Every structure is written in structure tokens, then in C-alpha cells.
Amino acid sequence: MLIVVALGGNALLRRGEGQDPATQLRNIEVAAAAVAELAEHHRVVVTHGNGPQVGMLAAQAAAHPEAAHPLDVLGAETEGMIGYLIERALRSCLPNREIAALLTQVQVDAQDPALSRPAKPIGRVYDAREADRIRRAHGWTLCPEGGGFRRVVPSPEPRRILELEAIRILVEAGTVVICAGGGGVPVVVNDHGAWSGLEAVIDKDLAAALLARGLGADALLLLTDVEGIYEDWGTPDARLLRRASVDQLRKTAFASGSMAPKVIAACRFVAAGGRAGIGRLEDASAILDGRAGTLILADR
């Protein structure tokens, strides 16, 4: 079985934890152990989030505008860093397997309406004075959040993974591939065939679903720090859904900043003929077997 495993940002850096290297490495080692358990019996492709990391680099760029890199470059930096750490941890768990981390570009439509509507928050919250300075210095869009202001950037729809065939070749050779980290680096091509990066981020879950469909994967696992999809979340009647149909989930509203992208990604993949699961990182194998998390099924 070919499985695409998407490690959410909150699976690699838990809520409330500091962004120090030791904490991130400890969580990555836990993630590697879960992936290795799957890789013992299946072909595995790993993708991952990078929200906390790219937000930290963006905040550093705001403090030092003379040395600031554009957001696509920051995305590539974090994809390389996290990919390296996952690869290193997996080598300890799977000493006899080939493992490769591949920097991945994802094409988006230059006319995507999302490019003119920044909505994805990144980085830390600034007070009013800092926000005003940053707007003037960088031209960033900032929106109110938590009593302050936070940068928001465009999040266009992923259309094509440029390195898909290279990933396929590696998978067919038995390699555990780490790719499309943070949704991949967003790029566009002009009428003359020239490629350029964008000041944007791609949703990692939607990119994972696109990757899984492109590879013809059998399963997509979206792993995070919550047990699964809950019905009536945030109320006393909240109940974990062990199984849910695409039709059922598409009729239910989910929080746009947390579960909604995972549900949309899972439904897209299942509607295309696969099976998907959402749940905790440490339950990866059990989610695949339907013993933990939420298993998403076709409408039938």
C-alpha cells in the first residue's frame, strides 16, 4: 500500500511549546517513530507543516528588513530544515531503507483570486505601534488578532507539483520520500516559460491531497495533535466521529484555521477513490486500520 502521511505543524510543534531546537527535534523523533512503523509494511511518502517555523523567520525579517528574504525563499528554507531533521530521524529508525528529502515547488494559477485577498495568518501578533511601523516598512497586510495585529498573506490553490515524477521514481525504487513541506514553495510561470516565486503560502493539507492523488496513493493520513474530527466541537455534546462520509462532512461547518482544510483535503482524496484518516500522530497505524481517529469513507 502507498500512503501519504501529512504531519501537521501542531504535530511537530505542540500548542504552547517553545520553538527552541531541542523541543522541535524531540517532536520530530516521535513523528519519525510513527512514520517508521508504517514504513515497515507500506511504501510511505511524508509531507509536513511549517507554520511556526516560517512565521518565526518572517518575524525575524520584519526586525531586519535590510536582510529580509521573500516569503517563497523562507518557505524553501523551512522545507529544507524540517525535511533534513525528519530524514535524519528516520534514518535512525529505518537503517536499512533509502530516505530522501526533496525540495518541492508547487505551481499555482497566477490569476487565482486568493492572490489578491490575503487571509492566511503567519508570524506573531504585533501591538498597534509595531504593526504601523511594519506596514510602512514592508507594505504587509495585517489584521486584528488577539488584541493586536498579525500578518496575513495569500494562500492560493495548489495546481501542480513540479517534482511529481521525480517523487514517483524515488517511491518506485523503494525510497521513503519527504517532500512538499509546508505545502511546497508557491511558484508561477509566465507566457515566456520563466518561473518565479510568490509572497504566499500554500495550504499543506490541500497540497498533501494533490500529492496523494498525483501519486495514485491508496491512503492519505492527516496527522495532528487532536484525536480526530468531532461533531458539535466546543459544546458539551462533542463526540468523536470514528467514521464519516464525504457527503456528511461536506454538510458540516469546521473552523477555517484548524480542521476545515484537513476535512476538505480528505474529502477531495476520498472522492477521487482513496481512503483518508485524520487523528493524532502517535495513532498513525491505528487510524489506517480504523481503530483510532476518524476514517473518511466514500459516500457509498
Catalytic residues: 9-10, 120, 204, 262
130 with 59: CB under 8 angstroms? no
Query: How far is Cα 286 from Cα 1, in angstroms, rounded to an integer?
Result: 15
How many of the other CB atoms lie within 10 Å of CB of 200? Answer: 24
**Cβ-proximal residues to 69 (8 Å cutoff; 6+ apart), any chain:** 57, 61, 77
Q: Which amino acid, residue 1?
A: M
270 with 298: CB under 8 angstroms? yes
The count of residues in the chain is: 300
CA 92 to chain centre: 24
Q: Which amino acid, residue 30?
A: V
Backbone φ and ψ for 214, nearest 5 degrees, come out as -65, -35
